[in-house]
Every structure is written in C-alpha cells, then in structure tokens.
A and B are shown apart, each in its own frame.
Chain A
C-alpha cells in the first residue's frame, strides 16, 4: 500500500535530492506527516505556525487540486500520486 509523492526542486535539499518519495497510503495529512518523520524539515516548509498548509503551497492528488477535494483530509489511495507544487504563477 504505497503512494508516490512528487517533490518540487525547492524541497529536494530535504529529500536528499530525490524528486519522488514513497509513502504509505492514507490521507494527504498522513502522507505529508510521514515526509516530516522520514525527512525532518518538511513540516515547517509546508505548514504555517497554525499548522495550516501554507497558502502558496498547492497539493494535488493525481491531477486534482486538493482544494477541490477534501483538503488535507483528502484520501490518498494505494498507487496514487501526491504532487507538491510551489506557488502558481501565470496571469
């Protein structure tokens, strides 16, 4: 039961340079928590002081933005891909 987490360039210093990390299926929150457990430092980059996902951090489960789903409570099923995408640009 594992999922793939895609790590953006800015966070690869924490993942030892890896662009993808495996994690246990669960929810977005549990997946991100497991990143912190395996690679300390992720949490303070992804979450603000109140423990909320920083507003310029975008998380996608497969191709869908979790804000269209259930936020950090969105289920992440086996073999799903979680992408962490830094601030959108554009416009």
Chain B
C-alpha cells in the first residue's frame, strides 16, 4: 500500500481525493501528490531499500503507486559514473554522470511511465496514451505492450525517424500531428476530456511526475546516502528538475539522509527553446512561451507546464541556467562520448554544454560534488551527430593502404 493521503494544488493549496485529475478546479494550478511522511519514515530504512529490486520499485514507499503489481520493465537503478576525464576538461573537481540512457527504452521516461501505468491499472484504465517529444512515446508504447494495454501515442510529425520507429515497433497506435509539441499537447488535453484513457502526462501526470524523484533517490544511495552539492538537469516541462530537488528533500524528511541537503540546482535548455532560461537571464518573473526551433527535440516544449516551479527551484537553491546553441549541443555530445564513453541524445548534449557554460561562469564550482543527469541515449538522435561523425579513414583491405592512411612514424607501432 502507498502512503498517499490525497492530492494538493501546488498553487493555492486546495486538497483533493486521489483520482485521475491534474489541475485544481479553482485556480487551474497543477496538483501534486500529498504523502504521510511520518508513516513513510516509520516504513523505510536503508536496509529495506537495499533488499528491494534493482529498479525504481525499491523506493516504492516514496511512490504513489503500489509495487505489487507494477507495470515494470526494469526502469531505474542506472549507473552513476565518476567522470574524471570530463571534469578535467571542464576544470571541475568531483563530477558524476547519472547515466539514464540505460533504461528499458533508453531514457528516464521509463521511470515516470512505470509509475503512471501502474497507477492507470489501479484506476482501471484500459488504454494508455501520451503527448510526446519522442522518449515518452517509446516508453509508453513499450510499457503498454508489456501490460497488455492498448495505446495511443501522439507525437509531432517532424520527430526524428529513429524515435518514430522505436515507438511504432511495439504495435500500438502512433499518431503524428502536423504541429509542434505544444499543439500536440493541447490536442491531448482535449482528447483527455473526451476519452476515458490514461494520458500519462495529462490526467495521470500528478502520479507520473513522481517517478522522476527516483533519480534523486538513486543518486543519494549510490553516493553512500549523501546528497551532491550541485545537480545539472535538462528542462523541457520543468518537471524533472523540480522532482529531483524534491526527491533529495524527501530523503532527509524521512530520515534516509543524515544531513539536510544543501543542494544547488541548475537547469539546461537549448537556445532554440529556452523560455525558462530566458526568464532567469532577464531576471523576469514571467515565463513567456516560445515557438521551439532546436535539434534538441526532446526538450522542445515552448510552453512548459512546470516552468515556474523549475525557475523557483533554481533561484531558491542558488543554481543557474543556460541556453546553449545547437553547435554547442553537438560538440558536447561528442565531448561526453570522447571523455567518458557515454553516448547521449541531444538533451544530454544540452546538459553537458550547460555544465560547461556554468563551469566557465563559476556557477558550477570545482570544490563541489556535481551530478549531471544524462536522460536519453544517443542512438535515438543519430541525425544530430551524423553529419560530423564518421570513419577516420576508408581504405582497401591491405597493409599498404593502412600505412598510407596512418604512417607508422605518426602512430604508435604495435608491440
């Protein structure tokens, strides 16, 4: 059983019973799950978690859906990799990469989908649906197939071919919309009011978003139950960044961390879609929606639902934000691959390019323990690196040809 006692409006605090609802009827603010933290404190321990499954469900006491039965393809418990080579390139000290490319469908979205569809089954829904920039499409299609649910996945028609194929292969309905993600999102809001479906990021979003907290739980557990000093997180809707911060706070609240986290939170956006970074850079309290134009399509949300909360989190914690160019994104993908052997999709390029920018600006400091969140796999966005990445040489299958391409005096000769 869960430790949820209801839903609460993040904006005006009005409370609601647990249901498949996502906005406050009064002020239209987003709803959030409210937990009984005293009960969780009594229920959890580091030992109990260590004895749990190697997935997000080891933290089920802190999630809004039941572990038994969960819709579970094994999301979570991805590697936290010490990144000394990248740190040296960026002039940083202790740097870690949370490599969330290693999820069942190769992005962090498997965390939120697993929670959302577990909850959807509990509510009795028979159809899973979502509005997606690609990664969620993959994840919902796969988890729906695994759970025996029908699925309707809505995507912008101009999505990377790879993300369309890796969604359609699971056999559900894939609907490509002639419009950008914000248009897809609006249509899905209307459809969610028309059909009795579990739209994971519309009517189930309150529960779905909680899945992202597991990125904080795992990071802390993998650091020996300590919080880092600074995290760098990509921003699309702003939910991920907000929930990672919340996750660390909760661990302290329920006694799993000994010391209160002094976490600084920084956000990463692409210049071609940077409504939150723009507000921060302009020192404005208003987030103005934009029409996205960037290769980082998984972050291309021009009207971010949790933009205000992400901006607040960055401001309150003393972090920073950056808006990086498409060229910087591609270079950062290659930098991460070259220095650490981790191949990230464009969103990961945005994160690393932002880390680089903030390190240069002195916002991310060498005396901090830093964690950068890499949320999706590079194979999903091959188009981004393809034009500038290829074989070092193409030669005939002869020693002479090799020697011509790589003169022996210029490369180390084999022993």
Residues of A within 8 A of B238 (CB): 91
| Least CB separation from B286: chain A residue | A55
Task: List residues 1-48 of chain B with CB under 8 A from any CB of chain A.
Answer: 11, 22-30
- Residue in A closest to B132 when the chains form the complex, CB atoms: A90
Where chain A touches its partner, the secondary structure class is mixed
- Whether A57 lies near B236 (C-beta < 8 A) is no
Please give, as numbers and ranges, the residues of chain A lying within 8 Å of B189 by CB-CB distance: 85-86, 88-89
Min CB distance A56 to B, Å, is 4
Asked whether B185 is an interface residue with its Cβ less than 8 Å from the other chain, the reply is yes
A88 contacts which chain B residues (CB < 8 A)?
A: 182, 185-186, 189, 303, 305
**1/0 per position for B67-83, CB-CB distance to A under 8 A?**
00000000000000000
Interface size on B, residues (CB 8 A): 36
- Which of A10, A45, A65, A87 has a CB less than 8 Å from the CB of B289? A65
B118 at the interface (CB under 8 A from A): no
Whether A89 contacts B201 in the complex (CB less than 8 A), given A56-B11, A65-B289, A67-B289, comes out as yes
Interface string of B273-303 (1 = CB under 8 A from A): 0000000000000001101000000000101
CA of A45 to CA of B14, assembled, Å = 13
Of the residues B11, B188, B291, contact of A90 by C-beta under 8 Å: B188
B171 in contact (CB, < 8 A)? no
Q: Does B131 contact A (CB under 8 A)?
A: yes
Which listed residue, B26, B182, B188, touches A45 by the CB 8 Å rule?
Answer: B26
B247 on the A face (CB < 8 A) = no
Is the CB–CB distance between B23 and A91 below 8 Å?
A: no
**Interface residues, chain A, with chain B CB atoms under 8 Å away:** 9-10, 45, 54-58, 65, 67-68, 85-91
Residues of B within 8 A of A (CB): 11, 22-30, 131, 181-182, 184-186, 188-189, 193, 199, 201-202, 205, 236-239, 288-289, 291, 301, 303-306, 308
Q: A67-B289, A88-B189 are in contact. List 11 more A-B contacts (CB 8 A).
A: A10-B28, A54-B27, A56-B11, A56-B23, A65-B289, A65-B303, A85-B186, A87-B22, A87-B28, A87-B29, A91-B304
